[in-house]
Amino acid sequence: MTSKSGAVISALITLVLFVGIPYLLPSYIPADLLAQVESSGFDLAGFTNQIMIIGAVTAGLTLAVGFVNPNSVLSLILRIAQAGLSLVFIVVFLGAGNIAGLGYTEFDVAMEGVTSSIAMDLRVFVYISIATILLKVVQVYLEWNEERIEAAPPGRIAP
């Protein structure tokens, strides 16, 4: 399988998982549960829109990486952008759609006259993800530099 066909297949899978499923998911949620979720202050439509936008951009980047020369600077930029976008996805997902909270979110749930406040503090996972993504960026750079050196003509040292 060539890198171009692999990129197309990977982009299609990404589109199905991160655009198609979030688009169809609200129609499968029962109406009473959907009303309960919306009354709690959780913006399900905004959350799914954010996931779909991130999924579409990720699919585009995946497709672009498959069609560019792996030794080019554009390839390095696209791979770093993919790593950064995966961090954005993690922050949006852990923050339940609140990207500014960086993993901390609050909402209220009211049932039978009783209101419960729920606070989810998942910032430690966001910080771990930031460290992991930074290491991924270093790995992407080192792999790109190695590919660039290997692609240099024999007897020539790559700049």
For range 125-147, the mean pLDDT: 92
Mean pLDDT of the chain: 86
In this structure, is residue 156 part of a structural domain? no
Q: Say what percent of the chain tops pLDDT 70.
A: 96
In this structure, is residue 155 part of a structural domain? no
In this structure, is residue 36 part of a structural domain? yes
Amino acid 119: pLDDT:
81
Instruction: Indicate the number of domains in the chain.
Output: 1
142: Cβ contacts below 8 Å, ≥ 6 apart: none
* Segments forming the whole domain that contains residue 90: 3-150
Position 40 pLDDT exceeds 80:
no
In this structure, is residue 44 part of a structural domain? yes
Q: Look at residue 1 and give its three-state secondary structure.
A: coil
Position 132 pLDDT exceeds 90:
yes
In this structure, is residue 121 part of a structural domain? yes
For range 41-49, the mean pLDDT: 83
Q: Is the pTM of this model over 0.85?
A: no
For range 88-105, the mean pLDDT: 83
In this structure, is residue 157 part of a structural domain? no
Q: What is d(CA 97, CA 119) in angstroms, rounded to the nearest whole number?
A: 14
